[in-house]
Chain A
């Protein structure tokens, strides 16, 4: 395992841990998701650079574009949840459990 591999793996794992165990605000969940996607972006970019593969160099940009779409959808849902539930706290999202 190279240092770069260790770096992006631990970044991703930390983001995933934050998303799973720190469930107070919806905004922090979205930030954790974005951190995970950015660590994947770094992984893609470093893979392309290390192997000098020019045909793969579009892949980090595609990843970044799609994760931006995902983040904007998440922010839209944040606004919708704040309008219907009053705040962005995750413990308010309890209408459906019974």
Chain B
């Protein structure tokens, strides 16, 4: 199949509109206290990134976009259903007052589907595999922010659901990335494992969760940028990239080890203090 991959397939006007809507969706979700507006922000976010994902009419990109659309639309509908059920049961539309246990569990599962936590994670490696590295960077950093803000705001205390999700996520993320040769799939499993850690400490110390989230974003950003600069997507290509840019290849293991949480770097202290809590 003849596919031309052009870097600027989209006109700058449309690209600007899409990127601004991407920012607007997350901002609306951040600023809202009503469930309808939070849902509107999530929908704007999803609808804005779909054309960015499918801008190259490659079969893999289109397939990844379709899978992403189906999961995100289902999760958004489930979030709205949970809040509507809460409104019918308690009469409250406020985000902070989602108190009934049934909608709370439903909402936690929906948000887990949205950010890709472990029993509901299977879409994330496939979607990330079908995208180019720039869109993958947006998907694994910026797109996690809005659902995570909702998860932080609802704050379920003493929830076994969250602990189970976190434990299964760390296990699946650790084991799933072992036998992969594709870098984007490894990054997807790394995202699952890190989000599992964040979910585990969420109900004990939310500030530590935020710190871990920021560190994870920083590491993932630098990893994606390094891969983008070297233009690599497999382990094989990464191991031969020293011929092209030796300094970058020498620096890459530092970022990867930092993402894995080895001693001189930040991530270890966070995991350590999560255990202490």
A84 near B62 with CB under 8 A, answer: yes
> A77 contacts B77, CB within 8 Å?
no
Contacting B40 at CB < 8 Å: which of A2, A9, A33, A62?
A62
Interchain CB contact under 8 A, A33 and B66: no
Q: Please name all residues of chain A whose beta carbon is closer than 8 Å to the beta carbon of B127 when the two chains form the complex.
A: 96
Chain B residues, CB < 8 A from A93: 63, 66-67
Of listed A33, A51, A69, residue having the most chain B CB within 10 A: A33
Q: Which residue of B lies closest to A72 (CB)?
A: B47
A49 within 8 A of B: no
Decide: A29 near B63, CB < 8 A? Known: A40-B77, A44-B84, A59-B36: no
Tell me if A33 and B54 are in contact (CB < 8 A): no
B74 touches A95 (CB 8 A): no
With contacts A33-B74, A77-B65 taken as known, whether A47 is within 8 angstroms of B88 at the C-beta atoms is yes
In B63-121, the 8 Å CB interface with A consists of 63-67, 69-70, 73-74, 77-78, 80-81, 84-85, 87-88, 91
Interface string of A9-25 (1 = CB under 8 A from B): 10010001001000000
Contact with B along A54-98 (1 / 0, CB 8 A): 000001001100100110011001001101110000000101111
Contact across chains for B81 and A70 when beta carbons are under 8 A apart: no
Residues 190-246 of B at the A interface (beta carbon under 8 Å)? none
Contacts of A29 in B (CB 8 A): 70
Task: Check if A69 sits within 8 Å of B73, measured CB to CB.
Answer: no
Interface of A is mostly: helix
Interface size class of A (residues with CB under 8 A): 35 or more
In the complex formed, the residue of A with least CB distance to B54 is A80
The docked-state distance in angstroms from the alpha carbon of A8 to that of B84 is 10
By a CB distance below 8 angstroms, the chain B residues around A2 are 88
Of the four ranges (under 10, 10 to 19, 20 to 34, 35 or more), the interface on chain B belongs to 35 or more
A-B pair number, CB within 8 angstroms: 95
A44 to B67, CA, bound (A): 28
Give Cα A37 to B84, complex, Å.
12
Given contacts A33-B74, A47-B88, A81-B66, contact A73 B81 (CB under 8 A): no
What are the residues of chain B within 8 A of A85 when measuring CB–CB? 59, 62-63
Flag if A70 contacts B43 (CB, 8 Å): yes
User: Which chain A positions have C-beta within 8 A of B54?
Assistant: 77, 80
Q: In the bound complex, how far is the Cα of B81 from the Cα of A9, in angstroms?
A: 8
B255 at the interface (CB under 8 A from A): no
Decide if A43 touches B88 in the complex (CB within 8 Å). yes
Q: Does B130 contact A (CB under 8 A)?
A: yes
Q: A85 CA to B63 CA in the complex, in Å?
A: 9
Question: A40–B84 contact, CB under 8 A?
Answer: yes
Does chain A have a CB within 8 A of B138?
no
Q: Beyond A66-B40, A77-B50, is A43–B84 a contact (Cβ under 8 Å)?
A: yes
18 contacts between A and B (CB under 8 A): A19-B70, A19-B74, A29-B70, A33-B70, A33-B74, A47-B88, A62-B36, A63-B80, A66-B40, A66-B43, A69-B47, A73-B47, A77-B62, A83-B57, A84-B62, A95-B59, A96-B63, A96-B129
Q: Give 5 new A-B contacts, CB below 8 A, not counting A96-B130, A98-B182.
A: A5-B88, A66-B39, A77-B50, A83-B62, A85-B62
B residues at A contact (CB < 8 Å) = 36, 39-40, 43, 46-47, 50, 54, 57-60, 62-67, 69-70, 73-74, 77-78, 80-81, 84-85, 87-88, 91, 126-127, 129-130, 182
